[in-house]
Amino acid sequence: MTIAPEAPTLNAPVDVRFTKAGTPLAVRYDGRIWAVTEEPVHWFTRDSWWETRRSVPVGVGNVVDIEHWRVQVRHTSDSPLLTFELRRDPLSEQWLLESVTED
């Protein structure tokens, strides 16, 4: 069940804490810390640079790979298990909460 079905893409800024290995450990969202409980899923998609017409100086680096994580989280040990879809756009340090679903 999606929490906000009328707005499937939330794009809410969140803080993500990572392990030394680089996987998400916890997410701060809505004034709470949500602990990652299962092995997260990690993937990349490509920005449609031909539509955004994004231009950057030579040598800036990767401007097309969008990083994603799907994490299952709980606020407390007895709270419902939720799935957060996280996204970080190229050239951004800010993580966005793209969607929340109940499992």
pLDDT in tens, 69-88: 999 999 999 999 999 999 99
pLDDT of residue 62: 72
Rounded CA gap, 59 and 92, in Å? 16
What SS3 class is residue 51? helix
- Domain parsing of the chain, residue ranges: 12-102
DSSP state letters, 24-42 = EEEEEETTEEEEE-S--EE
Q: How far is CA 15 from the centre of its chain?
A: 9
Paired tokens of 67: 């990083």
Q: How far, in Å, CA of 16 to CA of 23, rounded?
A: 10
Amino acid at 83: T
**What's the whole-model pTM score?**
0.82
